[in-house]
Amino acid sequence: MTTWRKRTAVLISGRGSNMQALVERAREPSFPAEIALVLSNRPEAAGLSFAKSQGVACAAVDHKIYAGREEFERSMQALLDLHRIELICLAGFMRLLTPWFIGQWRGRMLNIHPALLPAYRGLNTHERALADGVKIHGCTAHFVVPAMDEGPIVAQAAVAVLDGDTPATLAARVLEQEHLIYPAALERLAGGSLHILGNRVFCDDETEAPAALRNPAD
């Protein structure tokens, strides 16, 4: 059994394409994390079928049956403990988390967001970017802190906004970049090369940044 790989849970709510990208990258023998659990707050999440088909342990904790957020999170935490999870990747997990839960995972929980933070926190990022007429959009992998979409940034990728873009076409190009930067961010966190100083994240091997962590325009 390989024990050096960080046992990582991916939390999803739906399609799970980022989870799929993480599972696929983590198949590489030298990748420093293994996806040990896929957890959904929606039992019907499409991503669960993919995880099952890959032999990845998966579970659903249906938020609707709990009286409050913290009861729901305590059930998730029990499962995370049971599976000896060390790191968490939120991947399209559409529930706000309480400061209690976030505190359990400080410095050990990442999120992928479909915008270049700190621009466009929250929902409908592609629609809002198009409405504002921005020419550059993108995605961000960041540490999770109690303030929504505000944690220290690990990686970003920029995408040019094209004249003919609709929210769907823009989302599709941004998603391609999400699938590159999120596994690269997990690789660095699990490999122990990230350091948080204030709101900045430094990486020991910055000189050898993988292409996915660089601005595609470089």
Residues 6+ apart with CB under 8 A from 57: 36, 37, 38, 51, 83
Site for ligand GAR in 139-178 (CB under 6 A): 175, 178
# binding residues, ligand GAR (CB under 6 A): 13
User: Does 91 help bind ligand GAR (rule: CB under 6 A)?
Assistant: yes
Residue 126 a catalytic site member: no
Kindly tell me which of 17 and 187 has the beta carbon lying closer to ligand GAR.
17
Burial of 192 (0-12, 13-18, 19+ CB in 10 A): exposed
Task: Please report whether residue 17 would count as binding ligand GAR according to CB under 6 A.
Answer: yes
Which of 60, 121, 79, 127 has the alpha carbon at shortest distance from 96? Answer: 121
Question: Which of 63, 113, 142, 179 is an active site residue?
Answer: 113
**Could you give the CA distance from residue 116 to residue 168 in angstroms, rounded to a whole number?**
17
Q: Rule CB under 6 A: say whether 16 interacts with ligand GAR.
A: yes
d(CA 208, CA 6): 22
Stretch near ligand GAR under the rule CB under 6 A, chosen from 8-16, 58-66, 127-135, 184-192: 8-16
Q: How far is the CB of 139 from ligand GAR (least distance, A)?
A: 6
Contact 12, 45 (CB under 8 A): yes
Catalytic residue positions, numbered: 113
Rule CB under 6 A: which residues touch ligand GAR?
12, 14-18, 91-92, 112-114, 175, 178
